[in-house]
Amino acid sequence: MMLSELLGNPVRDAEGQSAGRLHDIVVRIDGADPPRVVGLLLRRKRAQLFLPVAAVETLDARAVVVTASAPPLAPFERRPREVLLGRDVMDSQVISLAEPRVVRVNDVVLAGDGAAWEVSGVDIGARATAAFAAARVASPRRARAHDPVGAGRVALQRGTRRSGPAGPPPPGAAASG
């Protein structure tokens, strides 16, 4: 499932009442390969609220449904080693470890079910961008080529988001996994 298909979708509780809209997805970078989703960032009015992924019953392109036993939503506070996929990764420059070069992330691919979701890849292809534009007009649901994590590995290069050409890679970024 593509991150762009999820962002902005309604989030509903077990009774069908609105809990807000999906604003972003939070992953923790802690050495796990691939990175695991730890929670969802919801927007309700102007508030940004955190929902642990364990409280998610359904996550799909139509809606997010929260379990009946979900804890109360708390204001979002970023913790160390957490990354917001929409804000920090999409449309950012990264270093492809498969072929050392700087590429732009067009979308993030997620895989999983229930409360166990992970980043399975990123879409970095220029052809995918053109296909995305065409598919968006034809159909909201689309299949897109992507680089799976592990095959076309990428590493975030801090400070390059929308800032032009990338500088040298961070130490150890070109190491294979």
pLDDT tens digit at each of 177 positions of the chain = 899 999 999 999 888 889 999 999 999 998 868 899 999 999 998 899 999 999 998 888 888 889 888 888 899 999 999 999 999 999 988 888 888 889 899 999 999 876 789 999 888 876 545 544 544 444 333 333 444 443 334 444 333 333 333 444 444 444 443
- Same domain? For 119 and 56 the reply is no
Residue 149 lies in a domain: yes
- Same domain? For 140 and 76 the reply is no
Residue 135 CA to residue 124 CA, distance in Å, equals: 16
Show which of 82, 117, 137 is a domain's final residue.
82
| Total domain count, the chain | 2
- Same domain? For 106 and 132 the reply is yes
- Same domain? For 63 and 102 the reply is no
Q: Which domain range does residue 51 map to? A: 3-82
